[in-house]
Structure 1
Amino acid sequence: MISKNIDQEIKQAMLAKDQVKLRGLRAIKAAILLAKTEKGGAEDLAEDAEIKILQKLVKQRKESADIYKSQGREDLLQVEQEEIDVISQYLPKQLERAEIEEIIQNIITQTGATSVKDMGKVMGLANKELAGKAEGKLIGEIVKSRLS
């Protein structure tokens, strides 16, 4: 579980005076603690729930980085990119586009999907199978292109 390793990693980053890593780890810890304390939150989160939290953190930082890039704020862009790098270390390896396309094609074949009307069914299975291994936006893009 990711949350169990984070405290130890934070201590090591503090001792090493690695501010970049420390900032990213603290963001992870804060997000996980928030999820645990939310109404109806579990004391211990399942690993897939932790992965979803980390994906959300990366997505938020990518969106911020895009904004900073468009505004020419290289200083803030660098901070976001550093945090993305730290958080991404705790996510499963992202699949290549070709691997994702192959998995989606198998799902389309299994379900017998033929048109965009079947997109919801394919997306549900694809998101379940590719959870943590691919971005939802990319999955949707591939499914839509295959069913069009």
Structure 2
Amino acid sequence: MSDLKDQLRADLTAAMKSRDELRTATLRMVLAAVSAEEVAGKEARELSDDEVLGVLRREAKRRREAAEAFDSAGRAEQAGRERAEGEVVAGYLPAQLDDADLAAIVADVVTRTGATGMKDMGRVMGAANAAVAGRAEGGRVAAEVRRQLG
């Protein structure tokens, strides 16, 4: 069993004991998403820590998008709840790269791949996403690659 999944379960138990409703609900939602991912496909399997991180990233993105949708609909209370859930999930994700670090990584990848223009964007994106390893959203990486190649 993955260490991250064990940590999520232990934190859920602690949240339940301390009667932290937000944390309890959020961790239950995350563990349900992990379980659904484990049984998806042709046969059930145990997720690795990297795969659990992928589920956490997806859930964090869903919380951000839901908060934006609630804000645009004028539902501030629900948007606040989604943001709070997103903060709980973000606590389990690796620290995000700041813009300067991301720019440096992309510049290094552009140099290594010998990219000269937008026609090389796919090749650069593949290498950049591997170098970033989940520490920045794909949209941020793509924007930086476009800026440097454009």
Q: Which residue of 2 aligns with 1:4?
A: 6
Residue of structure 2 in register with 1:46 after alignment:
48
Match of 1:99 in 2: 101
Q: Is the 8 A contact 1:61 1:81 kept in 2?
A: yes
Q: How large is the RMSD of aligned CA atoms in angstroms?
A: 1.1
The one of the two structures with greater contact order (alpha-carbon pairs below 8 A, sep at least 6) is 1
Q: Which moved more, 1:42-51 or 1:125-134?
A: 42-51
The 5 A counterparts of 1:1-148 are 1-40=3-42, 43-148=45-150
Cα deviation 1:19-47 (Å, max 9, x = unaligned): 11111111110110001011146522122
Residue pair 1:35, 1:41 contacting (<8 A) in 2 also:
no
Structure 2: distance between partners of 1:45 and 1:131: 18
Whole-angstrom CA distance in 2 between matches of 1:133 and 1:61: 17
Superimposed CA distance per residue, residues 32-90 of structure 1 (whole angstroms, 9 cap, x where no aligned partner):
00010111465221222111111111111111111111111011011101110000000
Which region of structure 1 is more displaced relative to structure 2, 113-122 or 33-42?
33-42
Shift of 1:5: 1.1
CA contact (8 A) 1:119 1:147 kept: yes
TM-score by length of 1: 0.96
CA contact (8 A) 1:111 1:122 kept: yes
Structure 1: stretches of 5+ with no match in the other structure: none
- Name the CA shift for 1:41/1:22 in 2 (closer, same or farther; >3 Å): farther
User: d(CA) in 1 for partners of 2:42 and 2:55?
Assistant: 16
In structure 2, stretches of 5+ residues that fail to align are: none
Aligned sequence identity (%): 33
- Paired residue secondary structure (1:108): helix
